Amino acid sequence: MESEDSVKHQLEELQKHLGKKQKFEEAVSSLKSLLQQKYQLASPSLRKTFYTAICRVATVLKTRYTAPGFWNAGLGLFEQAELLVSDPYEKEHLKGCVSQAREELHLEDNPTQVSQPAQNSANGGYLFEGRLTVDPEPPQPQWLVQSNLLTTAATLFAAESSQGLAADDTSRENAANMLQDLLNRLEDAVPLMLSDGPVPHKVPPASKEVVAKLPVIALTEEILTKLGKDAECSICKENLALNDEMQELPCRHTFHPPCLKPWLDEHNSCPICRYELQTDDHVYESWKEREKEAEEERKGAENAIRGGEYMYV
């Protein structure tokens, strides 16, 4: 029989995978499977580990992966967990997770929409966890589109390499054409991959707490000498003088405190290098995190495709 330590280790590994967009849905599916197999006979300690992992899924869905496909995966897990847990607090929390997932998927007015199989596929339903849904299948997440493109390219490379020198000009030309087509499709997909949600129209103001903690220094002769005789506050454009109080951003640029606060409220970026401070807007901060991840994925995908393209030049 599999030990509880082994199950705990699996749960810890799955929680790590939740932080990677390409592995999220697979990790949620594995977590649900473990829940069904191990939870009822688990010790209180192991049950708590299960609950912690499920809460992590809820947190990631709320803050990072907000596309319908991810919420669909989370809904199945939350519903399964709500049926199994006995702790009143945990059950109530999971009920809230189910409710929020249904709301995100616009199922709040029709609770049976996902769980009730359709009679036939003529209505455009799709298979989800072995059942035919009522609604049409949601569009694939863009990371999956990207993954499929890369898989196709990798298969093409392997097939072409196996032919070696025996490959004729026609097969090489076909391969090059397919690679170019893949590259074109990837370039079409990249702008969509950069955002899983609405793009904020304006940067929110800097967090008041963060601004309040910015250090304030008084200008000394030594500092003024380093800055130069024409040094000025980049916001008000007034020349700096001895004993002027200056507030320092994390990027090390300094400004008059009365100038900096309204500037950060309006622009939330350093006037010199455009460094952004943290905001109190959780939606915006989540969007920035997704943008950062998408940019890394985009660079990796383009490098992989273009690297393969060079093989045929």
pLDDT in tens, the chain (313 residues): 568 888 888 888 888 888 788 888 998 999 999 888 888 888 998 898 899 889 888 888 877 777 888 888 889 999 989 999 888 888 898 998 999 889 888 876 544 444 443 344 444 454 444 445 555 555 555 555 555 666 666 665 555 555 554 445 555 566 566 666 666 555 555 544 444 444 455 678 888 888 889 999 898 988 888 888 788 888 888 788 888 889 999 998 889 888 888 888 888 889 888 888 888 888 888 888 888 887 787 777 777 666 655 555 5
| Backbone conformation region of residue 173, classed left if phi is above 0, alpha if psi is from -120 to 50, else beta | alpha
Q: Which of 305, 15, 230, 29 is nearest to 37 (CA)?
A: 29
- The CATH code of the domain at 208-266 is 3.30.40.10
Dihedral sign computed on CA atoms, order 227, 229, 230, 234: positive
Q: Which of 21, 17, 308 is nearest to 193 (CA)?
A: 21
In this predicted model, what pLDDT tens digit does every residue of 154-182 receive, in sequence order? Answer: 665 555 555 554 445 555 566 566 666 66
Domain ranges of the chain: 4-108, 142-198+294-310, 208-266
Residue with tokens 């209180």, as numbered in its chain:
44
